[in-house]
Amino acid sequence: MSARAPADLRFSVRRRYGPGVSPHSPTITRRRLLGQAALATATAGAASVTLPGLARAADPTLEYVPAIVVGSGFGGSVAALRLGQAGVQTLVLEMGRLWNSKGWDGKRFCPTLLPDERAMWFSGRTKVPLDSFLWVPADIPVPRRAGILDRLQYRDMGVYVGRGVGGGSLIHGGVSEAPRRVDFERFLPQIDAEEMYGRFFPLASRTLGVNQVPREWFERTQVHQYSRVGRATAARAGFKTSFVGSVYDYEYLQRETMGQVPRSATAQEIYYGSNYGKRSLDRTYLSDALGTGNVTINALSEVTRIQQQRDGTYLLDVKQINTRGTVVRRRQIACKHLFLGAGTMGTNELLLRARETGDLPDLSEQIGRGWGNNGNVSVSCLNQTNRPTGLAQTTMPAIGIDNRDDPRYPVFAEIAAQPTGFENFTTSYLGVTNTGERATLTYDRVTARMDLDWNRSQADPAIHALRNTLDPIVDKSKMIYRTDLYKGNRAFGVRSCWHPLGGCVLGEATDLYGRVDGYRNLYVTDGALVPGFASVNPTMLITALAERVMDRVLQEDLR
Give the burial string for 438-462 (b: 16+ CB within 10 Å, else e): bbebebeeeeeebbbbbeeebbebb
Q: How many CA atoms lie within 13 A of 520 on its CB side?
A: 9
Residue 235 has pLDDT above 70, yes or no: yes
Question: How far is residue 189 CA from its own chain's centroid?
Answer: 24
Q: Can you give the pLDDT at residue 421?
A: 85
154-193 pLDDT tens trace: 999 999 999 999 999 999 999 999 999 999 999 999 999 9
Residue 53 has pLDDT above 50, yes or no: no
Question: How far is residue 161 CA from its own chain's centroid?
Answer: 7
Residue 45 has pLDDT above 60, yes or no: no
Question: Rounded distance, CA 39 to CA 15, Å?
Answer: 13
Helix H segments across 276-358?
A: 285-291, 343-356
Residue 1 has pLDDT above 80, yes or no: no
Q: Can you give the pLDDT at residue 46?
A: 60
Higher pLDDT, 173 or 37: 173
Q: Can you give the pLDDT at residue 33?
A: 86
Q: Can you give the pLDDT at residue 86?
A: 97
Task: Give mean pLDDT, residues 540-550.
Answer: 98
Higher pLDDT, 38 or 12: 38
135-146 pLDDT tens trace: 999 999 999 999
Task: Give mean pLDDT, residues 70-74.
Answer: 98
271-294 pLDDT tens trace: 999 999 999 999 999 999 999 999
115-138 pLDDT tens trace: 999 999 999 999 998 898 889 999
Among 504, 529, 512, which Cα is nearest to 364's?
A: 504
Inter-helix orientation angle 460-476/225-236, to 10° = 90
Q: Can you give the pLDDT at residue 32?
A: 86
DSSP letter at 451 equals E
Among 55, 57, 4, which Cα is nearest to 33's?
A: 4
Q: Can you give the pLDDT at residue 24?
A: 40
Question: Of all helices (H) and strands (E), which one includes residue 416?
Answer: strand 411-416
143 φ, ψ (degrees, to nearest 5): -65, 145
Give the CATH superfamily of 132-163+210-278+374-497: Cholesterol Oxidase; domain 2 (3.30.410.10)
Q: Can you give the pLDDT at residue 27?
A: 56
Q: Can you give the pLDDT at residue 15?
A: 32
Q: Can you give the pLDDT at residue 42?
A: 80
417 φ, ψ (degrees, to nearest 5): -80, 155
CA-to-CA separations, 539 to 22, 179, 435, 451, in angstroms, rounded = 23, 10, 20, 24
Residue 34 has pLDDT above 90, yes or no: no
Catalytic machinery residues: 414, 499
Percent above pLDDT 70 for the chain: 92
Among 114, 141, 113, which Cα is nearest to 127's?
A: 141
Planar angle of CA 250, 342, 496, nearest 5 degrees: 70
Where are the extended beta strands (E) located within 99-183?
Answer: 132-133, 136-137, 149-153, 158-162
Mean of per-residue pLDDT scores for the chain: 92
CA-to-CA separations, 182 to 178, 209, 553, in angstroms, rounded = 11, 24, 27
CB 361 within 8 A of CB 92: no
Rama region for 320: left / alpha / beta (φ>0; ψ in -120 to 50; rest): beta
